[in-house]
Amino acid sequence: MAEVKVEIVSLGSIKQLSATPNHLKHFQISLLDAIATPPSFYLPIVLFYFAFDHDFSKLSQKLKTSLSQILVPYYPFNGRIKTNKSNLYVDCNDEGVLYLEAGVPSKLSYFLKNNTNQQLNKIKGFLPLDPYKPKLDDEEDCLIMAVQVTELGCGGIAIGVCISHKVCEATSVASFLKAWPQKAMEEGSEVASSSPLNMEASLLFRPRA
């Protein structure tokens, strides 16, 4: 089954609502994370939502606004991976995450009715980049997070997210994917002031001196 070709409508970046404090500008990547995965390896996630009555442009704007808010406690996602001697760290410079809007005429049922191998090929188009072989511009080769929101022909949407495996693991990703829609639906109260990410990994697996 051939990969579905989606049409990219717009491409930009989303920055967090408020600047990262100076004392949090440096997010150290642990030795284990630095050597365990290839430099450009992303955790890929695609979430499908059935058709409902909505204006896609308004929905996307709501997702952008809530993403900007929820990125405050997940501030490393806005930064870029840098190298200091032989060590990797995140420069939390608030450059933002890549955000794409796209469309595809196919219905949601088309992507859910076949076997796993066929599904895998079909959903690649819903990801903002290839998680294993990303083709990025030079200024984006250390990108940490990218998002793609795709409108389906039936009115449903697909949200594809790629997050650097060197910066976060499954627990942090699950936490983020729970917090973002809650904020979009205004179920979240105030944006947390501290990061839900595991900040202790670099203490347990210290980088090279």
What's the pLDDT tens digit per position in 76-134? Answer: 899 998 876 666 788 899 999 999 999 988 887 777 776 555 566 667 889 998 887 76
Residue 32 has pLDDT above 70, yes or no: no
> What is the rounded CA–CA span in Å between residue 201 and residue 204?
5
pTM: 0.81
Domain 7-190 indexed as CATH 3.30.559.10:
yes
- Annotated domain spans of the chain: 7-190
How far apart, in whole angstroms, are the C-alpha atoms of residue 157 and residue 135?
Answer: 24
Of 145, 176, 142, 167, the closest CA to residue 32 belongs to: 167
Count other Cβ atoms within 10 Å, centred on residue 57. 12
Report whether pLDDT(44) > 80: yes
Q: Which of 70-79, 112-121, 158-167, 195-204 has the lowest mean pLDDT?
A: 195-204
